[in-house]
Structure 1
Amino acid sequence: MFTFTGFVQLALVKKIYDLSKSTAGVRHKWSWAALAMGNTGGHTGSMRIPPGNGPHQVGCTDLMVGHTTEGTFLRLFYPCNTHEDSERPEWIPSQEYFNGLADFMKINRSISERIFNYLFGLCTQPYVASWPPKGSLLRLWSIGNESASATFYFTENAEAEQQKEQASCKPPSVNPPHLNQQWMYHRPIKPGESEFPLRNKQVKQRADECIRALDLLIEINSGSPVENVLRTQFDFSTLENCMDLCKIAIMGHSFGGATVIEGLCKEGKFKCGVALDAWMFPIDEEIFPRVKQPIFFINSEKFQWVGNILRIKKLDSAFIPRKMITIRGTVHQSFPDFTFLTGNWLGKLLKLKGDINPNVAMDLCNKASLAFLQRHLSLERDFNQWDPLIDGKDDNLIQGTNITVPQSSI
């Protein structure tokens, strides 16, 4: 389960934004072509997110149950059969996501939208939308990524009941006519406001959302009917008895890594967790003793610092498996999709790429995660061939962390 994320340090965008307003930018006839330096894709769309390496093609569908802010909104992935010419969903399905990122970066929406559209506007995702599922789901991963820059919900029109009746006589559409789409954007810290109470409240909310999503999928698996506010063409009844509800893990990146810890504390149905470059700040340490499940921390080389590693180490246990590795040459954005959508020069300038090939880094992350999940979910697969990666046994891995932690701090 995830929404569009990516609070990235796009320093170049601010430089472009500043240049676009300056007389120097006019004098030198600066144009969007400058963005192509080191990013040969640009608006041509040659940059792409690589397809998965698993045995199945991947389908996805969006599900919203309850249209208000108290509802559940998720994207579900599942194995399926597809054709080569199957339509791929847009990576950024709405301009509002660009607006949310611009607000987060405190730059003008209209200018940043042109920049983001040039860089990412034609990118598609390597799976198909609302395709019929194939076989059974062996695992259920509820993924909570870092805090989103934008998401949406619905409010009812004044003429809601009349429009509901009219809508029932028409073909389904993504947005029901009796509802108004309302966008929610990143909540910045106000002047003088303490950050921890807000972020702690948010991580608890995110964990609750993951648990509600899990409960919803359990209902779907039992055959209970579901009313999808988004009215996609996907038939959720095809998922009846398709999920192995004894083998559930939670996985997330950055803020989502903190959500992993919070979710494990709140819900015992999550049998283990994988935290990718977890940002530990939002979590109240008093919950650490209540987390009883195995956890695997996979860190980047450039993001972590002493304080964050110390909080991770407070989850160490002599009785419960807790593992940590670091991927050499990686940055914080080596885990999300952004790392594949820029060229080498631009990617490094934007801190979206590290020194390691992003495909190599992602492959190590995937294989190590699968080995950990097989070990703790008793999966009947061959993922144990990658068990050495869990202990950092690879030239591109570090066992534990690259951060020097003073012994006195431990």
Structure 2
Amino acid sequence: MESKSSTKLYGIPEGKGPYSVGCTDLMTDYTIQGSFFRLYYPSQNGASSEETKWIPRKEYYRGLSDFLNMYRMLGETFFQYYVGSVTCPAKWNAAFKPGEKYPLIIFSHGLGAFRTIYSAICIEMASQGFIVVAVEHRDKSSSATYYHKENPGCEAQEEATENPNEEWIYYRKLKRSEQEFPLRNQQLQQRTEECIRALDLILDINNGNHVVNVLSLNFDWTLLKESIDTDRIAVMGHSFGAATAIKTLSKDTRFKGSVHQSFPDFTFLSGNFVGKIFRLKGEIDPNIAIDISNKASLAFLQKHLGLKKDFDQWDALVDGEGHNVIPGTNIDLPSTQPESLE
């Protein structure tokens, strides 16, 4: 029997909650100042059968190659072969499920990532009844991103390649002898503004305001009207995205809670050989690790957003109690006690 692709052995885990999950993209404005994010949300059952492509454009392969210090031609071939056919378990442009008030999460990705790379986390949250806005940052911390410079007309731009109306932005590496803090601080300020701008936009949609999607995707945004619980808004992030979450919390009081997630999607898609090369895998099974992380996050969110769910069953994980959980930190921190003078 002919073997299937590697996605049969390795795949992004499905959400474990009671809701079906859909996703779509939204890009506003024909400038770099516009918002760009992937939306994960509870969807109507059977609303779509179309699979969602995990990495939607080949330009992202080029960006990942740059970030990992690979030649672009080699990297593009490598990523196309290993993950080019990978889909994530959310239905593309599936109809949103109205009739409830859902808590909202704004999600910020880490360095070298982009809006689709944390779908395992975002899909799990959506399956548990959250609306998740996964922002794609344009501060040159993404491995790649883009915007439209002008109105592209009626073409389906998300399927286009080498489009002259698109401006691609790739990861900016530190220059030789350049200090890292000024660059990261500048990026952090921009990321924070992008998270707040995304929040403003999704709340405008919640209020029934019309939105123009530059990508011309077939999704009915009007179904989101009055579907967000505006008293329960959180910001989440991984790595540099965690720093973004903390900074965003300090600048906008609408956000009530934050949490640092641990794993991007690559850990589920790489075998042992590839995982060791790129340090994508730890010693623990990634499905066990993400399950622990997601449960702890849900317990944290219930506590700080005041949700009436059963996520408090995992409160012990937040306190560092449970199998494969380390209380406190496993990092050696410098002593805070002053040295004695002799």
TM-score, normalised via structure 1 length: 0.70
Q: What residue number does 2:139 align with?
A: none
Larger radius of gyration: 1
1:344 CA drift (Å) = 3.0
Aligned counterparts of 1:175 and 1:344: Cα–Cα separation in 2? 33
Equivalent AA in structure 2 for residue 152 of structure 1: Y
Identity of aligned residues (%): 47
Question: CA distance change for structure 1 residues 409 and 191 in 2, over 3 Å: closer, same or farther?
Answer: farther
Verify the 8 A CA contact 2:12 2:89 in the aligned structure 1: yes
Q: Which has the higher contact order (CA 8 A, sep 6+)?
A: 2
How many equivalent residue pairs? 303
What root-mean-square deviation, in Å, do the aligned CA atoms of Structure 1 and Structure 2 show?
A: 2.3
Verify the 8 A CA contact 2:320 2:326 in the aligned structure 1: yes
Equivalent AA in structure 1 for residue 242 of structure 2: G
Listed one character per residue, the Cα deviations across residues 305-345 of structure 1 (whole Å, up to 9, x for unaligned) are xxxxxxxxxxxxxxxxxxxxxxxxxxxxxx11111001234
1:265 CA drift (Å) = 0.8
Residue 338 (1) aligns with residue 266 (2) = yes
Q: What residue number does 1:209 align with?
A: 194
User: What is the SS of the residue equivalent to 1:248?
Assistant: strand
Aligned counterparts of 1:86 and 1:70: Cα–Cα separation in 2? 33
1:226 CA drift (Å) = 0.6
Aligned counterparts of 2:22 and 2:158: Cα–Cα separation in 1? 21
Question: CA distance change for structure 1 residues 176 and 223 in 2, over 3 Å: closer, same or farther?
Answer: farther
Q: What residue number does 1:155 align with?
A: 149
Q: What residue number does 1:12 align with?
A: none
Question: CA distance change for structure 1 residues 361 and 337 in 2, over 3 Å: closer, same or farther?
Answer: same
Q: What residue number does 1:189 align with?
A: 174
1:108 CA drift (Å) = 1.5
Aligned counterparts of 1:44 and 1:64: Cα–Cα separation in 2? 29
2:291 to 355, 363, 375: 363
1:349 CA drift (Å) = 3.7
Aligned counterparts of 1:84 and 1:206: Cα–Cα separation in 2? 33
Verify the 8 A CA contact 1:82 1:128 in the aligned structure 2: no
2:314 to 386, 403, 409: 386
Residue 260 (1) aligns with residue 245 (2) = yes
Aligned counterparts of 1:408 and 1:380: Cα–Cα separation in 2? 39
Question: CA distance change for structure 1 residues 359 and 41 in 2, over 3 Å: closer, same or farther?
Answer: farther
1:180 to 149, 165, 176: 165
Aligned counterparts of 1:103 and 1:212: Cα–Cα separation in 2? 28
Aligned counterparts of 1:347 and 1:127: Cα–Cα separation in 2? 24
Equivalent AA in structure 2 for residue 235 of structure 1: D
Aligned counterparts of 1:217 and 1:247: Cα–Cα separation in 2? 14
Aligned counterparts of 1:41 and 1:344: Cα–Cα separation in 2? 18
1:262 CA drift (Å) = 0.8
1:85 CA drift (Å) = 7.9
Gaps of 5+ in 1: 1-39, 278-334
TM-score, normalised via structure 2 length: 0.83
Verify the 8 A CA contact 2:109 2:239 in the aligned structure 1: yes
Question: CA distance change for structure 1 residues 62 and 391 in 2, over 3 Å: closer, same or farther?
Answer: same
